[in-house]
Amino acid sequence: MCYCVRMKTYIHARLGEDDRVVLERLKRSTGRTESEIMRRGLRLVAEEEGRRRSALDLAGCSVGRFRKGPRDLSSNRKHLKGFGE
């Protein structure tokens, strides 16, 4: 027989006074424990990281919309006149 036991991982975090006040307020207002709040925060950060989008995604439908104008402003010195001087 083989028994698989998952052990919990404990994390100790140092919180500044401001963060401690926020944590205490969240505990009172939600009725959740410190551990529940921290686990939820961890999942929210992971979800946020998964949603990061590229500059191309953020530009959306404006990409490729302009037919006139220089193709690459950075390669033509006359368009850079006055910058970085």
Closest CA to 10 of 31, 44, 39: 39
pTM recorded for the entire structure: 0.53
> Where in the chain are the domains?
14-49
Sign of the Cα torsion 76, 77, 82, 85 reads positive
How many Å apart are CA 3 and CA 1, to the nearest integer? 7
Per-residue model confidence (pLDDT) at position 85: 59
Per-residue pLDDT of the chain (85 residues; tens, 9 = 90+): 667 777 788 889 999 999 999 999 999 999 999 999 999 999 999 988 877 777 777 777 777 766 776 666 666 777 777 776 5
Per-residue model confidence (pLDDT) at position 16: 96
